[in-house]
Amino acid sequence: MQIIIENLVQNAVRYTEQGGIKIHARNSVFEIKDSGCGFDFQHAKQQGVKAKNSSGFGIGLSLVERLCGVNGFSLEVESSAEGSCIALKSR
């Protein structure tokens, strides 16, 4: 769980240049909303895909999705040019 949340929060912080980030946790739902640039989750979750300025290896979101699956969580992602909302829900 720590790896999942840490990765999602770090991404929100890294890609939100203006505005802010809101984190909510209630009723077995953990939600992160940011005002960042947005991203294509289907593309970004592929192993080896990373943002232009990323210093990582491009495995973060694919790892998050896998860890959610094996630990009984669903991952819902909505993203646009106005920001992203990622919800982690217990099944």
| Rounded average pLDDT over 63-80 | 95
- The distance of Cα 30 from the centroid of its chain, to the nearest Å, equals 11
Higher pLDDT, 22 or 15: 22
- Does residue 27 register a pLDDT over 80? yes
Q: What's the mean pLDDT in 67-81?
A: 95
Number of domains in the chain: 1
With contact defined as beta carbons under 8 Å apart, do 83 and 39 qualify? no
Residue 65 belongs to what domain range?
2-90
Closest CA to 74 of 2, 4, 3, 7: 4
The enclosing domain of 42 has a CATH number of 3.30.565.10
Mean pLDDT for all residues in the chain: 90
Predicted structure pTM score: 0.85
